[in-house]
Amino acid sequence: MSQSDLAQAVGKSPAYTNQTMTGRKHASPEWVNLVAETLNLSSKERVVLHRAAAKDQGYEIDLGVYRPKKRR
């Protein structure tokens, strides 16, 4: 799918789509969800896409596996 096709499918301008895809604009969670829906991504693929978008914005999200302590 081309960027132009993606822009049309998600209802955004080709310019906005290009700027988001090339990193000139940050991808919002809503934008990532629109892209994931349009591309019919699996749950695992959606996680990867959201992580990539978060890292692009400077978030450190690979902090290991969260293991809550057992309550006594």
Domain boundaries, the chain: 3-56
SS3 call for 62? coil
Which tokens is 35 given? 């892209």
pLDDT 10s digits, 4-54: 999 999 999 999 999 998 989 988 889 999 999 999 999 999 988 988 888
Q: How confident is the model at residue 69 (pLDDT cuts 50, 70, 90)?
A: confident
pTM summary value = 0.71
